[in-house]
């Protein structure tokens, strides 16, 4: 197998795993948002989802990032690590949002009428959506850099 094919396979595997992770985080955020909006209604729309599936998806994405690093070059691996960081941030924001929703049983935390005083950052749905957007942008940047450096060897064109 050629170096180019090895790199292409590892880059595609990583991008696919990252897209799946972002998709699962988005699905979970939408479910939590729907749950938050249904607070105060007679019948809620399901339960708060578990973060187990999005968290489990980070493991194959990390494995794929290692394969990207082994395939080279370093600049592409750095972009893969940036994607991992953005996905981790999105998952962390989702976790904070879930905690906020669980702590407010009487009113939606996404309501503009609700004033919450806190010492740290307040993570609501819009902040989670922004983190997910940043992760999606990082995936696109990874693919751009990967495409540009597909034939590089030690930072120089092949």
4-56: pLDDT as tens digits: 788 889 999 999 999 999 999 999 999 898 888 877 665 655 677 788 888 88
pLDDT per residue as tens digits for the range 86-106: 999 999 999 999 988 888 777
pLDDT, residue 149, reads 83
The per-residue pLDDT for range 54-70, each reduced to its tens digit, is: 888 888 999 999 999 99
User: Which has the higher per-residue pLDDT, 105 or 134?
Assistant: 134
Per-residue tokens: 128: 């989670």
Q: Does 114 score more than 60 pLDDT?
A: yes
Query: Which pLDDT does position 45 carry in this prediction?
Result: 59
**Radius of gyration from C-alpha coordinates of the chain:** 19
The β-bridge partners of 156 are 153
The pTM of the full predicted model, rounded to 2 decimals, is: 0.86
Q: List the beta bridge partners of residue 90.
A: none
> Domain residues for 57?
3-157
User: Do residues 90 and 131 make contact, with C-beta atoms less than 8 angstroms apart?
Assistant: yes
| Helix, strand or coil, per DSSP, at residue 118 | coil
Contact partners, residue 144, CB within 8 Å, separation at least 6: none
How many domains is the chain built from?
A: 1
Average pLDDT, the chain: 86
Q: What is the CATH number of the domain that holds 74?
A: 1.20.120.230
pLDDT of 2 reads 80
C-alpha torsion angle, residues 19, 21, 24, 30 (rounded to 10): -80
How far is residue 80's CA from residue 68's CA, in Å, rounded to a whole number?
8
User: Is 58 within 8 Å of 95 (Cβ atoms)?
Assistant: no
pLDDT category of residue 153 using cuts at 50, 70 and 90: low
Which neighbouring-strand residues pair with 21?
Answer: none
Give the dihedral sign, CA 48/63/89/23. negative
């Amino acid at each position: 197998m050629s170096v180019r094919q090895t790199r292409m396979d590892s880059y595609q595997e990583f991008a696919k795993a990252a897209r799946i992770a972002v998709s699962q985080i988005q699905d979970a955020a939408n479910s939590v948002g729907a749950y938050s909006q249904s607070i105060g209604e007679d019948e809620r729309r399901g339960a708060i989802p578990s973060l187990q599936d999005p968290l489990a998806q980070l493991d194959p994405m990390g494995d794929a990032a290692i394969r990207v690093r082994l395939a080279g070059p370093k600049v592409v691996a750095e972009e893969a690590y940036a994607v991992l960081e953005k996905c981790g941030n999105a998952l962390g924001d989702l976790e904070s949002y879930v905690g906020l929703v669980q702590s407010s049983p009487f009113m939606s935390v996404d309501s503009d009428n609700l004033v919450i005083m806190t010492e740290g950052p307040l993570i609501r749905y819009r902040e989670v959506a922004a983190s997910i957007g940043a992760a999606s942008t990082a995936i696109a940047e990874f693919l751009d850099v990967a495409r540009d450096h597909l034939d590089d060897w030690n930072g120089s064109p092949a």
